[in-house]
Structure 1
Amino acid sequence: MLFADYTLSQRLERTEGRSNAAFVEIRAQLQPASGATWCEVAGTAAMFDGPDSPLTQTFGLGMFGEVTPSDLAALESFFQERGAPVLHEVSPLADASLLPLLTQRGYQPLEYTSVLYQPLSAAAAPPVSRNPQLRTRLLAPDEAPLWARTAAAGWSTEMEGLEEFIRELSVVSAQSAGARPFLAELAGEPIAAGGLFVYDDVALLAGASTVPQARRQGGQQALLEARLHYAASQGCTLAMMAALPGSQSQRNAEKHGFRIAYTRTKWQLASK
């Protein structure tokens, strides 16, 4: 039995922080003009990927020891010097002194995220194919553009401009250290994409989407099972993912054995 305690939260927060840091590192390599960079303060990973990027925030605040006012000031300067909002995604298991400090400095809660987990076993049986025309595969490094196009197509009906944003984000993500991009193909045509990031013995699942015309064909379920089996075969003992509380993504994860470890709160420093 793996309990949702402080130790588990440390593992999960460290993995997601490392995932975002790997993205920022490859962004800086591929696009030096972006100014992408990251730093660590008191065990907290602070990422800058542009003022409007969803990756521009911190992970692990208060999870690796007490955070002092000077620590927060250093993190705030990191973002403010780059013209970015100051955002911290905080586990409820963080050091108890953190919340009063955040409110004293003018932070306000912005949103919530469910963090889910599932223990993995290398002895688990491989996934069973339910559709002979559907197959999943791990992509080669030079297939990053294909994965990005497929991932972005899944968002094409959501909001104007979102497809191109996701495509640009995904082509970088697929090339980051530790990334394992998976694709589902139906009769040889790509229909769904799913990301996997491996750090130590933890596998982070993210970036799942299906092209609109191929939904309800089993693509996402096949990708989920394939990524979990692959992660276990690589020595991972734990899988994690994040979802909007009460969302369909959370329900799908719980249907496939994931449990909610805790709900994080994103805090934003109010503008002066």
Structure 2
Amino acid sequence: MDGERLFCDTALAARIDRAEARLTAESSDAARVRRGDDVGFARPLAGGVASFAEADSPFNKVIGLGFDGVPPEAELAEVEAAFAELGAPVQVELSPLADPAVGALLTRRGYHLESFESVLGRRLGDAGEPAGVRLIREDELERWLAVVADASAVADTEGLPSHEDFPRETLIRALRDMSGVRRYVAERDGEFAGGASFRVTDGIAQFTGAATVPRFRRRGVQTALLRARLAAAAEAGCDIAVVTTQPGSKSQQNVQRQGFDLLYARAILVKGTSATSSSGADSRQAS
């Protein structure tokens, strides 16, 4: 099982995108609970979700379209108006395994292709227990958030640059709002060298929020964090693990070395002002 390559058919792609939609909606709702207001939304849209959490949030997007019919133009127009009212572009993350009619609809409505993101996955098996990685304690949350946010802000130079970039405090809030995640820290020389998290959704281990402090890069930190989460995901009963990276990045190389297969590349389609999103706050990795 551990060595078996993972093939992504339409059913698996739908399962992965629905898990991402749940993470997006629950984290968007958590942002409103944190603020104590009802600004924004997380509304169903043709089997996916349209979400606005707060200004410049990585959870401002539409995800999961094309696996349960094509969104009616009237509903899509309502979503576009809701984003416009909040001064935000509409960013759709669209799987190539979705109904092609969705892409055609978005193009007709003025969306443009802005970028891609790589979605990788692997079956779970024995990953070993790496040294120097552990779950954080409750009293370490603020330190962990700061370390991951600061490390995410220093992008790796390999691969395509991300179209996504967030203010530090926005990134910290997004990391805090991620619903149901388990947070891990890798320590080197008695310091926090990097952090990562994952959550379980319908048997999928979603790897999220990973970053390595720049001076500790190329020292096996991401590999250790990956192996720790793979072991925990297998113990939690997941059958697959999924991660999203920038195409051609060091992070993509790292996860492929740990047995992840490139499943597909989501297209990032935007209508309105160019989107401002995360560099590591969601499931994208920072090496």
TM bucket (normalised to shorter chain) is: 0.7 to 0.9
Aligned to 1:202: 204
Residue deviations 1:224-265 (CA, integer Å, cap 9, x gap):
100111011001111111111111111111111111111111
Change (3 A) 1:101 1:168: closer
Shift of 1:88: 0.7
Change (3 A) 1:206 1:176: closer
Change (3 A) 1:84 1:172: closer
Mapped contact 1:61–1:90 kept (Cα < 8 A): yes
Structure 2 counterparts to residues 167-182 of structure 1, below 5 A: 168-174=170-176, 176-182=178-184
Mapped contact 1:174–1:181 kept (Cα < 8 A): no
RMSD: 2.4
Which runs of 5 or more residues in structure 2 are unaligned? 157-163, 274-287
CA distance in 2, matches of 1:34, 1:193: 31
Aligned to 1:188: 190
Shift of 1:110: 0.9
Shift of 1:175: 5.1
Aligned to 2:103: 99
Letter in 1 for 2:236: Q
> TM-score under structure 1 normalisation?
0.87
Aligned to 2:148: 151
Mapped contact 1:148–1:167 kept (Cα < 8 A): no
Aligned to 1:132: none
Aligned to 1:268: 270
Residue deviations 1:3-48 (CA, integer Å, cap 9, x gap):
2111111111111121222221221111235824311122121110
Aligned to 2:11: 7
More contact order relative to length (CA 8 Å, sep ≥ 6): 2
Shift of 1:164: 8.8
Structure 2 counterparts to residues 205-220 of structure 1, below 5 A: 205-220=207-222
Matched, 1:69 2:73: yes
Letter in 1 for 2:142: P
Aligned to 1:90: 94
CA distance in 2, matches of 1:204, 1:107: 28
CA distance in 2, matches of 1:27, 1:55: 10
Aligned to 1:117: 121
Letter in 2 for 1:188: G
Q: Out of 66, 82, 85, which is 1:78 matched to?
A: 82
CA distance in 1, matches of 2:169, 2:220: 23
Question: Which one has a bigger Cα radius of gyration?
Answer: 1
> TM-score under structure 2 normalisation?
0.83
Matched, 1:245 2:247: yes
Matched, 1:45 2:49: yes
Mapped contact 2:222–2:254 kept (Cα < 8 A): no
Is the partner of 1:236 in helix, strand or coil? Answer: coil
Is the partner of 1:154 in helix, strand or coil? Answer: helix
Letter in 1 for 2:87: G
Aligned to 1:236: 238
Change (3 A) 1:177 1:99: closer
Farther off after superposition, 37-46 or 135-144: 135-144
Change (3 A) 1:257 1:157: closer
Percent identity for Structure 1 against Structure 2: 35
Mapped contact 1:34–1:49 kept (Cα < 8 A): no
Mapped contact 1:112–1:265 kept (Cα < 8 A): yes
Aligned to 1:223: 225
